[in-house]
Structure formats: structure tokens, C-alpha cells
């Protein structure tokens, strides 16, 4: 469907797998570190729109990731620097909103994206701290009595999906098996019951720890033990973790040598996720899928 944006005609159409090479170049043009594989994963679990110029060149992307019938997260929302401020971002966001209807929509809004999200009715619900680095000191964290870390197995997938859903407030039934295809995991076990976990996977220039799900405690020792497990195994590697400000892990991460590199707002339209009082998501899977 062609659309005129400040005298430039742009066409919007469904994003396809054929767009992946150009999409990868597009994200590099705004200094995002996604690998081709990161885009492939996003396109496998999400769908959305491409904006193309009169020559058919890709100038913008926006994907949605649906979680159950009632919620979706938005991500991979990019307009090429040469085409920004001409209404293409608005055109992409409005098409996603029309496609997704009245369900709850969630987005991690950058400084450039936030004014548009506010214009379309999104409200800030939380703040995320992005920590990353390679020069960290893996700490030793002890767990409460009766609790231990153990490898996850294939039989754990339904329980991991259930915990991830409760902690994020988003239905992770379909996401979890896809995630486990590309991630490794460690489980937190209490007397034979799986009560938490942390996944670890390649992303961008290095690796991501997330999601991290566990019960809260005064010192957050369970989340810290899960994160420390992956740090200890990957000393000297570039590792990233995105954590909600309110759980207070930021100063601990800074102290380990994982500096805060960005602060980003979580925004929501048509409600916000109802999370569980027992299980907490201490680190995002990614900004695109929360």
C-alpha cells in the first residue's frame, strides 16, 4: 500500500525472509549489533512490516511478537537514518497497531522512538538498565538451604514456559521451545522442584543472560546465583544483561564490572502485563520480546 510521507512515496508490505540481508544492514546503519542470526530468530518468532522506497530498497522495519491472544511486544523498529523524520516510523507503527487490534502492546522505547509512542497513547510502565562488558569478576553467591543449581533437561520445557509466563505476564508457551533451540539453560532447584532458571545465548557481539526468573528475596541471592553461574563460565567474554531498575541488581552488576550502558523505558498500550507475586523476571529475554 503506497503512502506519501513529506513528498516521498514509500510502500508498506509484509516483512519476509527475503528482507533479512537488507534488514541486517538497516540495523547496522543505526548501530545495532544484531547478527544475521539474531534477525533470523526475530523473523522466525515474529511478523510485521517493511517500508520500501520507489526502487524497492528497504528503508524501514517493524515486527510484532504475539504472546497468546491478548498481548504482543513490538521490536526491530527501525527507519534508515537517511529516511527518518518523514513519517515512515509513524506509518510502520500504525500498521502494526491496526494489525494487532485491541490487544496489549508493549515496546522498549528509545529516545527517538518515545515521542512517537507517546503520540500513539503508550505509557511508561518501567525502566530497564542495560549492563554489558567483558571485564567482570564472577562472584560466589550462596543459595538458601535446600536449593541448588542443576542443568536443565528436555523434560523441563513446560515448567520453564510456565515460570517464564508467570514472571513476565506474557504467554511464553510457544516462545520457550524456540528459545531453547538457540540458548543454554541452568535451573534453580528447591528440594526437587524447579523454581527458577537463567538462559544464555549468542547475541550481537557476545552473549546475553536472559531471561532470568526466580523468586525474590531480600538480597536477591537466587537471581544473583543464576547470573553468576553464567558469568563464571564465561570470564573474559562480552556479556549483556537487561534488568528492570526496580529489582536493584544494577549496583551489584556495576560492582562486578558490568557497567550500565543504557537506560530504556518500557511502554505499554491497552493495559500492562499482570505479573506473578511469586516468580520475578529479573532479566529480559531481549528488548524485542521482553
User: What is the size of the binding site for ligand COA (CB under 6 A)?
Assistant: 18
Q: Is 221 in the site for ligand COA (CB under 6 A)?
A: no
C-alpha cell at 145: 538451604
Say if CB 248 and CB 221 are below 8 A apart: no
- Name the packing angle between helices 36-45 and 175-182 (round to 10°): 160
Q: Which is nearer to ligand COA, 108 or 224 (CB)?
A: 108
Q: Is 85 in the site for ligand COA (CB under 6 A)?
A: yes
Instruction: Show the binding pattern over residues 177-196: x = contacts ligand COA (CB under 6 A), - = does not.
Output: --------------------
Q: Is 215 in the site for ligand COA (CB under 6 A)?
A: no
Residues 211, 163: Cα–Cα separation, whole Å: 11
Residues 65, 67: Cα–Cα separation, whole Å: 7
**Selected range binding ligand COA among 76-84, 132-140, 233-241, 276-284, rule: CB under 6 A:** 76-84
Say if CB 130 and CB 253 are below 8 A apart: no
Q: Which is nearer to ligand COA, 106 or 143 (CB)?
A: 106
Q: Is 90 in the site for ligand COA (CB under 6 A)?
A: yes
- Name the packing angle between helices 20-29 and 36-45 (round to 10°): 120
Q: Which is nearer to ligand COA, 46 or 87 (CB)?
A: 87
Say if CB 91 and CB 51 are below 8 A apart: yes
DSSP H helices, 30-125, are: 36-45, 88-100, 114-119
Q: Which is nearer to ligand COA, 87 or 133 (CB)?
A: 87
Shortest spacing between CB 175 and ligand COA, in angstroms? 21
Q: Which is nearer to ligand COA, 57 or 135 (CB)?
A: 57
Where does this chain bind ligand COA (CB under 6 A)? 30, 77-79, 84-90, 107, 109-110, 112-113, 115-116
Amino acid at each position: 500500500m503506497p503512502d506519501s510521507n513529506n513528498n516521498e512515496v514509500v510502500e508498506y508490505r509484509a516483512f519476509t525472509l527475503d528482507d533479512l540481508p537488507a534488514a541486517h544492514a538497516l540495523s547496522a546503519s543505526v548501530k545495532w549489533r544484531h547478527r544475521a542470526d539474531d534477525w533470523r530468530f526475530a523473523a522466525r518468532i515474529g511478523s510485521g512490516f517493511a517500508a520500501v522506497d520507489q526502487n524497492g530498497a528497504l528503508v524501514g522495519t517493524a515486527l510484532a511478537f504475539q504472546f497468546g491472544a491478548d498481548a504482543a511486544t513490538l521490536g526491530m523498529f527501525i527507519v534508515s537514518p537517511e529516511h527518518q523524520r518523514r513519517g515512515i516510523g509513524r506509518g510502520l507503527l500504525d500498521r502494526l497497531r491496526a494489525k494487532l487490534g485491541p490487544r496489549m502492546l508493549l515496546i522498549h522505547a528509545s529516545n527517538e522512538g518515545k515521542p512517537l509512542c507517546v503520540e500513539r497513547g503508550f505509557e511508561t510502565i518501567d525502566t530497564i538498565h542495560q549492563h554489558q562488558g567483558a571485564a567482570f569478576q564472577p562472584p560466589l553467591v550462596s543459595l538458601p538451604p535446600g536449593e541448588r543449581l542443576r542443568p536443565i533437561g528436555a523434560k523441563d520445557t513446560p515448567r520453564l514456559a510456565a515460570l517464564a509466563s508467570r514472571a513476565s505476564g506474557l504467554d511464553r508457551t510457544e516462545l520457550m521451545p524456540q528459545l531453547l533451540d538457540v540458548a543454554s539453560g541452568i535451573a534453580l532447584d528447591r528440594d526437587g522442584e524447579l523454581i527458577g532458571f537463567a538462559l544464555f545465548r549468542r547475541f550481537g557481539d557476545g552473549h546475553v543472560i536472559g531471561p532470568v526468573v526466580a523468586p525474590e528475596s531480600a538480597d536477591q541471592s537466587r537471581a544473583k546465583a543464576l547470573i553468576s553461574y553464567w558469568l563464571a563460565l564465561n570470564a573474559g567474554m562480552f556479556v549483556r544483561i537487561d534488568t528492570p531498575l526496580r529489582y536493584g541488581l544494577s549496583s551489584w552488576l556495576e560492582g562486578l564490572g558490568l557497567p550500565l550502558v543504557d537506560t530504556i523505558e518500557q511502554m505499554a498500550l491497552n493495559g500492562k502485563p499482570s505479573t506473578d507475586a511469586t516468580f520475578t523476571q529479573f532479566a529480559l529475554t531481549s528488548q524485542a520480546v521482553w
